[in-house]
Amino acid sequence: MSRSTDRQTDPAAATASLAAEAALLEGRLSMLREAIDSVDARIEAVSETLRRLQRSATGPTNGEAPARQASGAGLDPSKTGRA
């Protein structure tokens, strides 16, 4: 008997194995879709909060320009000693 015939797999066993792997992958896909939906919902909530904050920061202030809020993102070079 040659080696190639020893390595042949029973078609029923191969089918069962592939079906089990497909079920596992479908389960993982479902979990990933749920995670994506959760992230999308969180992004939408944060975006809405940022829109509300932006509207309140740029709202009317009796004709005066809105005061700039300090942010850790933008450093004032004159205060850091860098130009």
Is residue 10 within a helix (H) or strand (E), and if so which, with residue range? Answer: none
Beta strands in the chain (DSSP E): none
Q: pTM for the complete prediction?
A: 0.53
Cα distances from 14 to residues 8, 17, 18, 30, 75, in angstroms, run 10, 5, 6, 24, 62
Residue 83 near residue 77, CB atoms below 8 Å: yes
For the chain, domain boundaries: 30-58
Helix, strand, coil share (%) of the chain residues, nearest 5 = 65, 0, 35
Q: What is the DSSP string of 55-78?
A: HHHSS--TTSPPPPPP-SSS--HH
Banded model confidence at residue 60, pLDDT cuts 50, 70, 90: low
Banded model confidence at residue 59, pLDDT cuts 50, 70, 90: confident
